[in-house]
Amino acid sequence: MKPQTLQGGVLTADGFVEGALHFEGSRITAIEGRAVSELQARSCPSLILPGFIDLHVHGGGGADTMEAAQAVATLARCHARHGTTSLLATTMTAPLAEIEAALQALAPYCRQRPSSGAHVLGVHLEGPYLNAQRLGAQPDFARPATLDEILSLHRIAPIRVVTLAPEQDQNLALIPSLVAQGIRVQVGHSNASYEQAVQALEAGAAGFTHLFNAMGPFHHRAPGAAGAALAHAQHAEVIPDLLHVHPGALHAALRAIPGLFAVTDATAAAGMPDGAYRLGRQIVMSCMGGVRLADGTLAGSTLTMDRALRNLVAIGLTVQEASARVSRFPAQYLGLQDRGQLAVGACADVVVLDAQSLQVQGVWVEGQALEPAGGA
């Protein structure tokens, strides 16, 4: 692959540089230019940012992870066009055989990146080890977790994150063993009390799944899992579509949780027109930017990470701050040293945005140029 150069406002770990980013093959070889403020960088035609990293993706481009077959390749291509260069394919609560089939289908894409798609870093196992009273849009197949079952699934495809309700059955006791296997445990779809959520953190849980959603509401005399996250968590997911979480709650979480990072929780409806789509076993309706079950329950989103970044900027974050929430922090959360940042030697996963509109102009994954989605 020939050496390539991108010019504009380049976001490095130390801030913006007005200059050039050079890469050859799959790696960044040099960054040249003069340090500038973000305001000055936005006077350039383009901003050059690290590729986005989405750790909670159910679908996109009309495809759902649980459909198996080519679904993961389809969703990886859809989200790559919106600047997501790495993602976790996320499962739904379902009978074990269906989860196994989904993992068997996606495992090859964890070993070999889909053509013209994002890296599939592994699996986010969202259930079935949830509280049946906090399923949200998850089908009613919640059940107790066992270490043997999770490790059996892990052998099919690498599980990087598992969401569970620590107050259920023996889930809390499993957390240290899962952490020892290199699996990040997140509290989610849970009725945990504040004390139970703190116990989960003390046992090794690393984060919270779609903070505020599918967990007990915060109350000043019963703060619950949300209160434990705000008081103690270093990391948590949040869905910044401005529908799942009010901007005021987003600001509270941004102030309280140092490594708060954005996820899309995207469904097959992402990147698609309004209509009916599959989410696991269920049919959901996408309409006016929201995705819901027939009873009106929010059921994932149509969010893409470029829009997540624009939404964060719209509520008051700088581009540099928003970029950290969609790239650097999720990379750090998974312990990825070579992505989530633009630096010499890092993977050439790059997104180029129009400096004013922040619309995607170009995407490179491992140095491969992809066709962007345009002004979605």
Instruction: Choose the catalytic residue: 265, 295, 306, 338.
Output: 265
Report the DSSP beta bridge partners of residue 376: none
Alpha-carbon separation of residue 180 from 75, 113, 121, 204, 374 (angstroms):
30, 27, 19, 9, 42
- Measured CA to CA, the distance from residue 325 to residue 17 in angstroms comes to 20
Element (H, E) at 153: helix 147-156
Question: Phi, psi at residue 176, to the nearest 5°?
Answer: -60, -40
Is 169 assigned a catalytic role? Answer: no
> Contact 143/164 with Cβ under 8 angstroms?
no
Is 206:124 a contact under the CB 8 Å cutoff? no
CB 91 within 8 A of CB 301: no
Please report the sign of the dihedral spanned by the C-alpha atoms of residue 300, residue 94, residue 160, residue 253. positive
Q: Is the dihedral of CA 196, 200, 206, 209 positive or negative?
A: negative
Give the residue numbers marked as catalytic: 265
